Structure 1
Amino acid sequence: MQRSLNPVYVTISALEAGQITLPEPFFVAPADPEKRTLVPSLSFLIRHPGNNSSEITRIVFDLGVKRDLTGYKPAQQAHIANRQPVIVEPDCASSLRWGANKTDEENVKAEGGQLLDPSKDINIVILSHVHWDHVGTSSDFSSAVFAVGSGTLNVLKNGAGPLYPADMFNDDELPASRTVEFPPVPSLGGERSEYDTGPGAPEHTPASADTLARLPASSKEWSWQPLAGFPHALDFFGDGSLYVIDSPGHIYGHVNLFARIAENKYVYLGGDCCHDRRILSGEKGIAMYDDGKGGLRSVHMHTEMAKGTLARIGEFLKHTRNTADVEIVLAHDVYWREQNRHRFWPGKL
């Protein structure tokens, strides 16, 4: 991990962004066939310091669930019916405005809280991927630039193969004039090559010069480089404080974030690398179930690639155990949410 004479640290706060219900047999194996768990779809506020308060860059990672479920297409709503109950409030925007356990502006100010207006105060939104429970209500962030994995805009338009047809996505989910895709990931051959260039693999969509100009200056040097066992990491600010980690397997464009929050202290935001912490620990495996077409599938588009991503994360955590304090947070980790209520905005990790 990068070290410098004057290290830069980011500040991270968790955000409530809706809750969904996961039937255990679709996510872990072995599973209780009757168990259904209400889990969060977490978002995170990340603040990168500038030379003064006016130069702080505020990023939101993932937007969770839309507060208006009618904003999803009919095919999406049919899928969402299997994830009920779904709780839409507080959503990501409400969590930014009021903070955890706050109900109105007067109470927030009385308690010394901080308010953020998602339409004005958020500079960048990074999405781990564009499944329905991560895209939220993008129109709330009307002045932000959106940054997504390569191929994401193509996925929204054309789908991602037979398991994820186009009617499972909204073509206008992201503001095209304010969206930037991270650079295409170099192929390593084998499964990676097939994943990147095989049938249905999406094409990269270049961003306009005006949109690129709204990103940090470091974006001009963005490239995928090895980092601590991860073959493809992108130094977002160019100072080692925040890395985008290519995390293939779940769906095209899936990325994680790796953040430095203090001396020798880091947070890994794992998105949907898995949906249950017991998979990451090895206590459970990834569930395989009937794909409706005579075969088996998992919640990941490419199960073996997803397993490879998990293996790299596991190796990374093992190798850093004695040298750094690394906390991993998954998007749907109900146990983490219950144990860390005090770390939701305006609290911090």
Structure 2
Amino acid sequence: MSDFHNPNSSDSTVDVSILPTGWLYLPDTWIFSDGKPVLKHWSPDFSFLIRHHSGKNVMFDLGMRKDLENNPLVIRQDYPIITPHVPKDAYDLLMDGPVHPSDIHAVILSHLHFDHTGDVSRFPSSEIIVGAGSATATTPGWPTSDFSPFDGSVLSHPNFRELPSSGPGFVSLGPFPKAYDYFGDGSFYLVDAPGHMVGHQMGLARTGLNEWVVMGGDCCHHKDLLEIDKARSISVKDGPNGQPGFHKDAVAAKSSIDKLRIMREYRNVLTVLAHDASLQGKVPMYPFNLNGWMK
């Protein structure tokens, strides 16, 4: 297997930690085109802490909020199926380690679904950063609209910011044509990965001189969709909130999955999907780092 190479010549790295910000059931028929109707996967909801040498701390996703009764009505209607469980949210988990929530410079959201946006009100001084097009795609949110699955408090956060779709700081990255160099030194990229919903983005962090971690968000919901030899495909007939599958644009989602499959084959890249149950017990969790995973 070959190695992934950084388009930026800098040697800068970041420290990355996984936070298990809840668990929920994901029905097999929501994930796979050949899913079994009676099968559900008890899946983690991973968020990530990224620490930069400048002293800036960034969260990539917040997982689920702890006060589940304050999620949009449309989401709560699926609770009998997904049974969300959040013993500690991102704020609580950070409090158990060395980085205080007030020290989080920015919360970057892979996208605006409830199991990634958490409770942004617990991070009042942080920037809330989303991918291009997210605001338009989720307005009006709940509770302005009873039928919206999106939490309106994300868009109304005083430090809300949407990334542009192009411009300074954007580069091509492996098989992905567009990624944003967040710190400007090649240590952490926000990778445009369309399909799941408008504005969906992944994270790519450099955790060593020749070591990388992909934070896959909801590019897909199970590692079997990334296996070269299994060739399973996403569901396009059954999904949450009565939708036909998990992904808003199935064609674009399949293309993003194909590209992520290529990234996953690099010897020096570890791929962590937001709901990858296969990694539980195999990788360290916060306050420990993923750095050095290749050793």
Partner in structure 2 of residue 345 of structure 1: 286
Partner in structure 1 of residue 247 of structure 2: 300
Partner in structure 2 of residue 151 of structure 1: 133
Shift of 1:156: 2.8
Q: Is 1:262 aligned to residue 204 of structure 2?
A: no
Verify the 8 A CA contact 1:155 1:166 in the aligned structure 2: no
Verify the 8 A CA contact 1:228 1:316 in the aligned structure 2: yes
In 2, Cα distance between the equivalents of 1:172 and 1:124?
16
Verify the 8 A CA contact 1:28 1:285 in the aligned structure 2: yes
Partner in structure 2 of residue 39 of structure 1: 43
The number of residues matched between the two structures is: 280
Partner in structure 2 of residue 271 of structure 1: 217
TM-score, normalising length: structure 2:
0.88
Verify the 8 A CA contact 2:131 2:162 in the aligned structure 1: yes
1:169-199 CA-to-partner distances (Å, cap 9, x unmatched) read: 12223444201111125xxxxxxxxxxxxxx
In 2, Cα distance between the equivalents of 1:129 and 1:6?
28
In 1, Cα distance between the equivalents of 2:239 and 2:272?
29
1:71-113 CA-to-partner distances (Å, cap 9, x unmatched) read: 11222211333211x11112111111114xxxxxxxxxxxxxx
- 1:29-68 aligned within 5 A: 29-50=33-54, 56-68=55-67
- 1:259-338 aligned within 5 A: 259-282=205-228, 283=230, 284-290=232-238, 297-318=244-265, 320-321=266-267, 325-338=268-281
In 1, Cα distance between the equivalents of 2:82 and 2:110?
20
TM-score, normalising length: structure 1:
0.75
Verify the 8 A CA contact 1:42 1:64 in the aligned structure 2: yes
Point out where structure 2 has 5 or more consecutive residues left out of the alignment.
291-295
Q: CA RMSD in A?
A: 2.3
Verify the 8 A CA contact 1:260 1:267 in the aligned structure 2: yes
| SS of equivalent residue, structure 1 residue 172 | helix
Partner in structure 1 of residue 293 of structure 2: none
- 1:137-286 aligned within 5 A: 137-158=119-140, 167-185=148-166, 222-282=168-228, 283=230, 284-286=232-234
In 2, Cα distance between the equivalents of 1:7 and 1:79?
45
Verify the 8 A CA contact 1:149 1:255 in the aligned structure 2: yes
Q: Return the letter of the residue paired with 1:345.
A: Y
1:275-301 CA-to-partner distances (Å, cap 9, x unmatched) read: 000001142221232589xx9822100
Distance 1:222 1:6, change over 3 A: closer
Shift of 1:154: 2.2
Q: Return the letter of the residue paired with 1:26.
A: W
Which of 1 and 2 has higher RCO (CA within 8 Å, sep 6+)? 2
Point out where structure 1 has 5 or more consecutive residues left out of the alignment.
51-55, 100-113, 186-220
In 2, Cα distance between the equivalents of 1:259 and 1:8?
10
Partner in structure 1 of residue 78 of structure 2: 79
Verify the 8 A CA contact 2:170 2:179 in the aligned structure 1: yes
In 1, Cα distance between the equivalents of 2:105 and 2:239?
40
* 2:117 equivalent among 126, 135, 159: 135
In 2, Cα distance between the equivalents of 1:83 and 1:222?
41
| SS of equivalent residue, structure 1 residue 75 | helix
Shift of 1:141: 0.8
Q: Whose radius of gyration is greater, 1 or 2?
A: 1
| SS of equivalent residue, structure 2 residue 66 | coil
Verify the 8 A CA contact 1:157 1:170 in the aligned structure 2: no
Q: Identity, % of aligned pairs?
A: 32
| SS of equivalent residue, structure 2 residue 152 | coil
In 2, Cα distance between the equivalents of 1:290 and 1:41?
21
Q: Is 1:7 aligned to residue 11 of structure 2?
A: yes
| SS of equivalent residue, structure 2 residue 158 | helix
